[in-house]
Amino acid sequence: MTSRTGDLLAAEPHPTPNSPTPNSPAGATEGAAVTPGLSLSGGGLLLRPFRDEDAPALIAIHRDETLRRFTRTPVTDPAEAARWLDLQRRGWAEGHRYSFAVLERRDGRDDGRAEGSDDARVDDRADAPAELVANVVLKRAEPGGPAAEVGYWTAAAARGRGVAPRALEVLTGWAFAAFAADGLVRLDLLHQVDNTASCRVAEKTGYGFRSVLPALPPEFPLDGHLHSRSA
C-alpha cells in the first residue's frame, strides 16, 4: 500500500533527465539538472530549495495550530528549524525528496500577467522581497519507479488565495518533465479524511480521488484519501 507521509499538511517524496531551467515556467524541459540550486516559477510564485535564512519564517509559520495538527515534525525553535532544514537538504543530496520553499511577493504583485497563469513570474531581486508562504515536496519512495508522492503545507496567513493549488501545479509540471525519462508516470497525493482543504486542492489540480486508505493508528488514527494524477 502506498505509504502515508505525515510531515506535511497534505499528503507528501533521482535525478537525471531534463528539468526546467532556473526561473523558467513550469513544464519547461530544457536546462539545469536536478540540483539544490534549481528554482521554478509559475502562478505568481517562486519555488526554490530551502535556505538557512528561512528558519525564522518556518518557526513563525509552525505556531499555527492547524499546521501542527497535520504535521509530525515540530519546528518551534532555532534548533528544530535547523534539523528540519537539514532533512530537506539531505533529501536533495540523496535523491529521494525534493522540497521547495514557496515564495510570494509581499506586495502581492507579479510582472503584469494574470494571477494563476502558468508563465507568471516572481521577481526574486533584492529590491523585490518575497515571503515564505508554503512548502511543496516531491517524494520518490522508489527512485526510478513509475510513481511518486507529492505533498505541501500552506502558511495560515496565505490560505484562501490559491497558493497551494498554484504551487502544486508548478511542482507537478516540473516532476513529470524532469523524471519522464526515469519512468515517472503517476503522482499520488494522500491526506487524512478530515483534511477537507487538501481534498479541494487535489480536485483543483487534477488529482482525482482513487480510494480510501484504512487508518493506521497510532500514527494515522483516521482513514485517508488517495488522489492521483497521470502524466
186 backbone dihedrals φ, ψ, rounded to 5°: -145, 140
| Per-residue pLDDT, 120 | 38
Looking at the domain assignment, is residue 7 inside a domain? no
Residue in the block written with cell 523524471: 179
In a domain, 152, yes or no: yes
> With a cut of 50, which residues of the chain have pLDDT below it?
1-3, 5-32, 108-127
- How far is it, in rounded angstroms, from Cα 219 to Cα 196? 19
Is residue 116 in a domain?
Answer: yes
> What pLDDT is attached to residue 26?
39
Question: Does residue 134 lie within any of the structural domains?
Answer: yes
pLDDT in tens, 123-142: 444 445 799 999 999 998 78
Closest among 60, 25, 16, 6 to 169, alpha carbons compared: 25
Domain presence at residue 211: yes
Q: Please indicate, yes or no, if residue 5 is contained in any of the structural domains.
A: no
List all residues 6 or more positions away from 60 whose beta carbon is below 8 Å from its beta carbon. Answer: none
* Region of residue 112 (left: phi > 0; alpha: psi -120 to 50; beta: else): left
- Establish if 75 belongs to a structural domain: yes
CATH number of the domain residue 174 falls in:
3.40.630.30
pLDDT of residue 107: 59
pTM, 2 dp: 0.79
Residue pair 45/123 in contact (Cβ under 8 Å)? The answer is: no
**Full domain range(s) for residue 202:** 24-230
Q: How many domains does the chain have?
A: 1
Q: Is residue 15 part of a domain?
A: no
Which pLDDT score, from 0 to 100, does residue 113 have?
Answer: 34
The pLDDT value recorded for residue 175 is 96
Using one digit for the tens of pLDDT, what is the confidence trace for 135-184?
A: 999 998 787 899 999 999 999 999 999 999 999 999 999 999 999 999 99
